[in-house]
Amino acid sequence: MRDRDLIRTGAAAAILGSSRQHVVDLCNQGLLSSERSPTQRRLHRGEVETLAARLGAGSRLNRDQRQSLWLHGAVVGHLVVDPTGTLERARTNLGRLRRAHPSGMSSRWLDAWQAVLGGGPEAVLHTLTSQAPLAIELRQNSPFAGLLSDRERKAVLRAFRDHDRTTLG
């Protein structure tokens, strides 16, 4: 294999739409092979591109965004069972976040969330499940923190990891 066919973990992460650590984890799990030197790890570009094609990488959602979508899917469960309580919790969190971040980029996302929450349960359901660019960004700045119990959050993350491994395998 020629040196130009070998890439670093950062380049592999960009191809896969993931973090560098996720690439290292894939290597450690034996899902990607790599060559190691004392200071770096190099992967075969073709193998990374094949995995990316199998995963549908290059789609709009990277690993962190997909994980956020799964977590917010659990929030949807709470929203449909208790819309009033769930939205009230989000509004309370939004007020706390506004006091902590009265200006700057954060305030932009908080304004957008206020508008979504004002649209009622259907608008929130759409934002929590949509793959539209604004919804993706909003989920990264969510007022639903603390809504899921620690047990629920861990179960969702475990299910997401298992699903990712199944998809990779």
Residue 2 has what pLDDT?
53
Residue 50: its pLDDT value, please? 84
User: 6 has which bridge partners?
Assistant: 44
CA distance 3 to 12: 15
User: What is residue 62's predicted lDDT score, i.e. its pLDDT?
Assistant: 84
pLDDT at residue 118 in the model: 93
Give pLDDT, residue 168: 65
Q: What is the pLDDT of residue 71?
A: 97
C-alpha angle with apex 113: 108 to 118, nearest 5 degrees? 130
Question: In angstroms, rounded to a whole number, what is the distance separating the alpha carbons of residues 72 and 57?
Answer: 21
3-55: which CATH topology? Multidrug-efflux Transporter Regulator; Chain: A; Domain 2 (1.10.1660)
Residue 169 is predicted with a pLDDT of 55
In this prediction, the residues of the chain whose per-residue pLDDT falls under 50 are 1, 57-58
Q: Which backbone phi and psi does 6 adopt, to 5 degrees?
A: -100, 140
